[in-house]
């Protein structure tokens, strides 16, 4: 081979990728990464839709069916209804509401009933403040599963037999997380939802916004039929029709559940002071400054306002 031919062969062998070839390779890599990210979002949205269709909406249907079969809301007195969830545990004018005598001189409105506001669940489930709760209603003596079964109401499958009030899903970091459904009555003036409400505990911020959009078409935490628990009331004059408030927290904030540490400085939308993580540090379920993708995502509690 001549000297010229050898030099040409050497230059061809040493030639790298051209800018066009590099651009094509980078574009292909970008499409692959984008496809993976989109696939994860599609999978998560499909899981959220499953939660809505097979759990939340079915529990709403079970509540409505209970009302249609018994003529009263869950846990209320059939012979002397109070129109409050767990009304049979309340007292009126010093006697049990279900046996109160007629002709009383006191108006039979919720404000005159005592010992109300109990939460009907199938067990306590999450402890107070683990799901960003600012109030902790006492769990009623009545059991949600037993009440539904006695009325012949078919409950959603949930996590399985005996755990129909629970639903297992994964947060955005891949940690197993449980939803829990309860029911309770809230007094007039409760900004997060007055009257009879379904309580959904254990929602990630993404799931809460997804359900809010489906339920009332308003993805905020103050307006509509689906709201965050413990939202502060508008108090100033002229605030009645102010814009809503977006759901607090996001999927980069740790939950603060025991064994899952979190830190940072609480922001303006915090849970009550005194909530401590596993290290004993006072924190908030909506604290900022902690963005570890291995943490359990912060969990929230929402109220779905019922029609009855």
How is 62-127 classified by DSSP, letter by letter? HHHHHHHHHSS-TT--SSS--SSTTGGG-EETTEEGGGPPSS-SS--SGGGEES---EE-SS--SP
As a 3-state breakdown, the chain gives helix, strand, coil percent values, each rounded to 5, of: 30, 15, 55
Whether 76 shows a pLDDT value over 90: the answer reads yes
- What's the longest Cα–Cα distance across the chain? 120
- Of 69-73, 156-160, 199-203, 241-245, where does mean pLDDT reach its minimum? 241-245
Mean pLDDT (whole number) for 190-218? 92
Portion of the chain with pLDDT greater than 70, in percent: 76
Mean pLDDT of 258-268: 45
The helix or strand, by DSSP H or E, that contains position 167, with its residue range, turns out to be: strand 166-170
pLDDT category, 102, cuts 50, 70, 90?
A: low
Supply the pLDDT for residue 265: 34
Q: What is the DSSP letter of 264?
A: S
195 falls in which pLDDT band (50, 70, 90)? very high
Q: Return the DSSP state at 254.
A: B
pLDDT given at position 258: 64
For the chain, the domains span 19-70+117-233+242-305
pTM for this entry:
0.79
8 Å CB contact between 145 and 66: no
As a whole number of angstroms, the distance between CA 137 and CA 72 comes to 21
Query: Residue 207: what are its φ and ψ, rounded to 5°?
Result: -65, -40
Q: What is the pLDDT of residue 282?
A: 32
Q: What is the pLDDT at residue 44? A: 82
Higher pLDDT residue, 279 or 121? 121
Q: Please, which pLDDT band fits residue 27 given cuts at 50, 70 and 90?
A: confident
Per the listing, tokens 């902790």 go with: 136
Among 53-62, 75-84, 281-290, top mean pLDDT goes to 53-62
Query: Which DSSP string corresponds to 31-57?
Result: HHHHHHHHHHHHHHHHHHHHHIIIIIH
Helix (H, G, I), strand (E, B) or coil at 155: coil
Mean pLDDT, rounded, of the chain: 80
Residue 295: Cβ-neighbour burial (10 angstroms; 0-12, 13-18, 19+): buried
Residue 284 has pLDDT above 60, yes or no: no
């Amino acid at each position: 081979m001549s000297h010229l031919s050898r030099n040409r062969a050497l230059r061809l062998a040493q030639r790298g990728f051209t800018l066009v070839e590099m651009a094509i390779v980078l574009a292909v890599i970008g499409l692959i990464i984008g496809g993976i990210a989109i696939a994860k979002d599609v999978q998560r949205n499909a899981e959220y839709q499953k939660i809505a269709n097979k759990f939340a909406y079915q529990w709403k249907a079970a509540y409505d069916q209970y009302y249609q079969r018994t003529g009263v809301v869950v846990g209320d007195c059939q012979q002397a209804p109070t129109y409050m969830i767990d009304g049979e545990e309340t007292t009126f004018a010093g006697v049990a509401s279900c046996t109160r005598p007629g002709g009383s001189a006191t108006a039979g409105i919720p404000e005159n009933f005592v010992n109300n506001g109990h939460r009907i669940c199938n067990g306590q489930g999450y402890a107070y403040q683990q799901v960003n709760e600012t109030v902790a209603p006492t769990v009623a003596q009545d059991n949600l599963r037993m009440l539904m079964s006695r009325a012949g109401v078919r409950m959603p499958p949930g996590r399985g037999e005996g755990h129909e009030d629970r639903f297992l899903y994964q947060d955005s970091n891949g940690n197993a997380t449980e939803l829990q459904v309860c029911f309770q009555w809230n007094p007039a003036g409760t900004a997060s939802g007055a009257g009879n409400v379904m309580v959904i505990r254990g929602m990630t911020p993404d799931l809460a916004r997804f359900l809010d959009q489906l339920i009332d078409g308003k993805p905020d935490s103050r307006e509509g039929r689906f709201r965050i628990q413990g939202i502060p009331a508008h108090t100033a004059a002229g605030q009645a029709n102010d814009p809503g408030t977006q759901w607090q927290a996001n999927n980069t904030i740790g939950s603060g559940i025991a064994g899952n540490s979190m830190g940072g400085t609480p922001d303006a939308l915090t849970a009550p002071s005194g909530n401590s993580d596993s290290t004993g540090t006072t924190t908030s379920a909506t604290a900022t400054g902690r963005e570890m993708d291995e943490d359990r995502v912060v969990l929230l509690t929402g109220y779905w306002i019922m029609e009855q």
